[in-house]
Amino acid sequence: MIEVKIYGVVSLKTNVESLKTNVKNVDELLGIIPGLSRKEAKDLVLLVNGKAVKKNYEFKDGDKVALLSPAGGG
Amino acid sequence: MTTKYGGYMGKVLMIDLLKKEAIEYPFSDEERALYIGGKTMAAKIIKDNLKGHEKAFSDDNLLVITTGPLTGSGAPSSSRFNISTLSPQTGYLTSSNCGGNFGYYLKKAGLDALILKGHLEKPSWIEINNDQILFHEADDLWGMKTGEVQKALDEKLRLKNGRVRKNGKIVIGPAGENQVLYSCIVSNDRVSGRGGTGAVMGYMNVKAVVASGNKEVKVLEKDKMTKLCQKWFKYLRKHPLTGSQLPKLGTAGLVSAMQMKSILATKNYKYGQFEDFEDVNGETLAKKYNIVNKGCLTCPIKCARTVSVEGVITKGPELETLVLLGSGILNNDLKAILKWNYELDELGMDTISCANTISYAMEANEKGLWDNGLEFKKIDNLSKVFEDIAYKRGIGAELALGSKRLSEKYGGKEFAIHAKGMELAAYEPRKAVGLGLGYAVSNRGGCHLNGGYLVILEGLGLAINPTTYHGKADLTMLFQDLMEMISSSGQCLFTSYAFFPSPLMNHPNSWYTRLANKVLPYCGFAVRLINKYPRIAHLHLPVFHHTKAFEYVTGMKMKFGDYVRAGERGYNLEREVNRRFEVNANKDALPKRLIECLQDASDKDSKVPLEKLKKVYYHARGWDQNGLPKAKLLKKLKIED
């Protein structure tokens, strides 16, 4: 089981702030984000336990995943 | 004095407050072409009048309020004006770009700039209506908070038909009256926040300046400008940063990204992450509290939040306030921050410096250096502390001095988080070292924007290596110069974010964005080439509409290379003013916490390699080892003959 949290402008679109899932890898995860197509999900920044991972990363039980839209300036 | 250029009203007014006399200040077309407007024009005026012995609180100091040629021209986000003065916080030049409506109405009154000098015998407010200048006693206004005094002034300007004469104002609150070193000037609900401009206005006994009139800004190529603006507004509305992130989440939308990148100033910059950040981020602000997003005049970005505080509809907090009164003091109560943001604006104090001074005091108390009653996470007494600061009561009288002076008295210089005496913004720079350099060398002190805002490349917009020193100095210089010019022309710096092509922002995982992230740190040579030979950038960039707009409004030639050169001139001019007040490489400093202590013990690069960065930066700028512009550079930039 992994915990996924969604941040940034995209969180207003998905209307889901977090979810728990048993997906095995990044590719599977990108297909199940509520309100987003796989294509849209692919354009999010993905961090696992605070670090960037490769596209073929296999999740481990307890991983904390953050998905966020690119930010900008303030 | 008239002008051949469009965009300018052709008149700068200087008011000698001691004599209550207004005279036209000479500013020629040659000077307009070199010093443009805004902060650069103000630096030129201050350089020509201040010699280096003056103090901020003295009759020699000037408060220079300038517009740019694009202010009121109809260009997007162009209601901006600037306030520059000798800062009581730093002792150097400060400049503060504000989005209120005063600049627009100053031009309606026929002025490009207003210079105040000396002080009035009694607290007063100044009315400028076209060519008429009136001084009014302000006994009934003195002591009022910033919202209340603006309403009271509107009542004084009510016409016989019941309407209020259209006007723009700048006002100070109790903090400015009492010369709190980081007090600000307020226009509508926007703030000229940094460097203590409000304290200088308080010293001058000027509670408010009100401008009105019926003059029009002349745009030389009106049809071309109208077409360009249509295209530009559309571009900004479609861009992911100016059309989505900023309107939907405001600047507060950066909190989560800053947390992910470990650059969220936490517990007085001891850490870069805050476990409760979700309670105080932009998403929570948008979902729970934001009523509507709001913009300044002619702004399509509309980044401001609107919230309700105890029944009053008011401006929501910006990122800086949210972070520094949130994670900065280990506070997870967002509702409290909304209330404090309102209170600080009403008292007329810079939220950044105030919050950082308080977090310094909390740490000093925790370490047993200063028994002041302030503790991290303890927030129930803060509203009273803010009032005490504004009125300089009890402990507030000490907090009104800012963290630098307090650390000199009580110790803890290593965790007094300031540069040149002005407290840093909300980005913890040990995981964004280019911004660390920017904070240190910034002309006005610890400012992210005057520092070049490289963090937008170091993890927020793009994702270049945040801890390498490669390319950081050159890119910092480029961004400082670009922002200098955007500000000087009268526009909001946020228009510069659309400089980054949308595909790079929309597709952060694409091959071309990853390539850009890898390559950018090694593009320093290109920046230096443009600086040395601006002719190689003798073109208008499709992602940067500013240059064409400048040409259409003013009639001056302004290709991208010229634009960068003008910004470079402004930045160096400000440095030259500061030279008179003994700025040098030693003053371009950061506290030890940020340059000697690793943020992450497992990452040897997680501190700012400041001396290494400064060396490259000074070389790139054409400054000597002591951080001062060389004579050859000053001649090239036409700052000196």
What pLDDT was estimated at residue B270? 98
Search chain B and give the residue with CA nearest A15: B287
Look at A7 and B505 and tell me if their CB atoms are within 8 Å. no
Q: Please, what are the domains in chain B?
A: 12-212 (3.60.9.10), 250-418 (1.10.569.10), 432-636 (1.10.599.10)
Q: Which of A7, A66, A70 sits opposite B283 (nearest CB)?
A: A7
H or E element, residue B382: helix B382-390
Burial label, B387 (beta-carbon count in 10 A; 0-12, 13-18, 19+): middle
- Residues of A in Cβ contact (< 8 Å) with B241: 72-73
Cα–Cα distance between B469 and B608 in angstroms, integer?
Answer: 9
* A19 touching chain B per CB within 8 A: no
Read off the pLDDT of each residue in B151-178 and give the average, rounded to a whole number: 97
CA distance B282 to chain A (A): 8
* A16 touching chain B per CB within 8 A: no
Interface test with A, best of B238, B239, B241 (most A CBs within 10 A): B241
Cα–Cα distance between B144 and B173 in angstroms, integer?
Answer: 6
Look at A71 and B287 and tell me if their CB atoms are within 8 Å. no
Residues of B with CB under 8 A from a CB of A: 240-242, 244-246, 248-254, 256-257, 260, 262, 278, 281, 283, 286-287, 303, 318-320, 453, 456, 460-461, 463, 494, 496-497, 505-509
Read off the pLDDT of each residue in B559-572 and give the average, rounded to a whole number: 97
Confidence of residue B1 (pLDDT cuts 50, 70, 90): low
* A23 touching chain B per CB within 8 A: no
The encoded tokens of residue B426 equal: 């909300």
Cα–Cα distance between B98 and B193 in angstroms, integer?
Answer: 8
What pLDDT was estimated at residue B376? 98
What pLDDT was estimated at residue A15? 79
Cα–Cα distance between B85 and B42 in angstroms, integer?
Answer: 8
Location of structure tokens 């012995």: B53
Look at A72 and B461 and tell me if their CB atoms are within 8 Å. yes
Search chain B and give the residue with CA nearest A18: B278
Cα–Cα distance between B253 and B508 in angstroms, integer?
Answer: 17
Look at A45 and B506 and tell me if their CB atoms are within 8 Å. no
C-alpha closest to that of B453 among B431, B417, B483: B483
Q: Distance of alpha carbon B308 from its chain centroid, rounded?
A: 26
Look at B252 and A42 and tell me if their CB atoms are within 8 Å. no
pLDDT at B207 over 70: yes
Q: Please, what are the domains in chain A?
A: 2-68 (3.10.20.30)
- Residues of B in Cβ contact (< 8 Å) with A9: 244-245, 248-249, 253
Look at B240 and A71 and tell me if their CB atoms are within 8 Å. no
Cα–Cα distance between B281 and B256 in angstroms, integer?
Answer: 6
Search chain B and give the residue with CA nearest A45: B508
HSE-up of B622 (CA within 13 Å, CB side)? 18
* Contacts of B367-372 spanning 24+ positions with Cβ under 8 A: B367/B412, B369/B410, B369/B411, B369/B412, B370/B406, B370/B410, B370/B411, B372/B398
Give the Cβ contact number of residue B234 at 10 Å: 12
CA distance A33 to chain B (A): 17
Q: Which of B248, B453, B456 sits opposite A9 (nearest CB)?
A: B248
What are the C-alpha distances in Å from B335 to residues A9, B294, B320?
21, 20, 16
How big is the A-B interface in CB pairs under 8 Å?
Answer: 90
Q: What percent of chain B has pLDDT over 90?
A: 98
* ipTM at complex level: 0.95
* A14 touching chain B per CB within 8 A: no
Look at B505 and A8 and tell me if their CB atoms are within 8 Å. no
| 3 state DSSP class of B11 | coil
- Residues of B in Cβ contact (< 8 Å) with A42: 509
* A9 touching chain B per CB within 8 A: yes
How much is the pTM? 0.97
pLDDT at B356 over 70: yes
Look at A50 and B260 and tell me if their CB atoms are within 8 Å. yes
B237-286: per-residue pLDDT in tens?
999 999 999 999 999 999 999 999 999 999 999 999 999 999 999 999 99
pLDDT at B178 over 80: yes
Cα–Cα distance between B196 and B219 in angstroms, integer?
Answer: 34
A14-48: per-residue pLDDT in tens?
878 899 999 999 999 999 999 999 999 999 999 99
Confidence of residue B435 (pLDDT cuts 50, 70, 90): very high
B485-496: per-residue pLDDT in tens?
999 999 999 999
Cα–Cα distance between B39 and B442 in angstroms, integer?
Answer: 14
What pLDDT was estimated at residue A74? 76
Q: Which of A8, A12, A42 sits opposite B256 (nearest CB)?
A: A8
Q: Report CA torsion sign: B301, B286, B431, B328.
A: positive
* A7 touching chain B per CB within 8 A: yes
B108-142: per-residue pLDDT in tens?
999 999 999 999 999 999 999 999 999 999 999 99
Q: Which of A12, A43, A73 sits opposite B494 (nearest CB)?
A: A73
